[in-house]
Amino acid sequence: MMKITFLVVLLFVLKNDGRLTRYQRQRHRSFQSFGKFRISPTTGVRIALPTSEQLIWQSQELGVLIHFNMATYLSDDGCTDQIVPKISLFNPYLLNTNNWVQTMVDFGAKYAVLVAKHACGFLMAPSDIKFPMSPSGEIISYNYTVDYSPVQGVDILQDFIQSCEKQQIRTGFYYTVVTNTWLNVDSGFVQNRTLKPGQINITQETYDNIVLKQLRELWTKYGTLDEIWFDGGYTQSLKEPIIALLKELQPQSIAFNGYGVSSNPARWIGTEMGIAPDPNWSTGITNDGGDPNS
């Protein structure tokens, strides 16, 4: 009787050892692999070859993007028309990240991404970065951050991370590389145009250095990140440095719009409506649209 019971339990375990384990076993079988896809040994067609990180991310199914930043206090999503809101506008007097996370738990979400810096250029965390202005060369601090706002001394990103950890919610940060209205940057480049009130003039080299230093701060101060958002992508001049930085600091992270810089990219579905068009290919070897042959 004991032998029969043991066999039944063993069969149950083998049958229910999870999709990730079965996938990992499958990867060790004999097939011809080309990195992003493999060739089916039965049909000869290309089959997508996701990473284990991508599979774990996808199996979570529900996640949350918290779009809370300077533009929350404007009737404008991202400081268009070179608007630089006064830093005193950012004054969340009822801020409670534990409440955010409880909403996630009630919703059934498994992970959450918080906007660290959006298009305005406002950074939701303290920063030690200094940089030269152009053409004077005067060195100033990156002072468009939460530490210069009415809630000085509050690290919202750290509060968010701690609240999520209590409830076992995976975490990540959104950071737009290609837009910073405060620094007169659009599409990844410092613009040659008349500055509007509140804007600061810098060189392109200075801007690229600021981005890399801010990413290093975000990717070292807050532990392991499960997802990183490059909303709008990245410029070619920053591609190789970002590849190196990701590999060094957060190699396991899923990178939204990270095709070309991350081994675990996730792509935009192609709409802002929250509904993916049909058909839509989950994986593939291109950034947008997916690949119907993979």
E strands within the chain?
32-33, 37-39, 46-48, 63-66, 111-117, 130-132, 139-141, 170-175, 185-186, 189-190, 227-229, 254-256, 265-266
Residue 18 has pLDDT above 70, yes or no: no
**Pick the residue with more confidence: 124 or 29?**
124
* Residue range 39-266 in CATH 3.30.1360.70: no
Residue 170 has pLDDT above 70, yes or no: yes
Residue 290 has pLDDT above 50, yes or no: yes
Residue 16 has pLDDT above 50, yes or no: no
For residue range 118-152, what is the model confidence (pLDDT) as tens digits?
A: 999 999 999 999 999 999 999 999 999 999 999 99
Residue 65: beta bridge partners? 113
Per domain, the residue ranges of the chain are 39-266
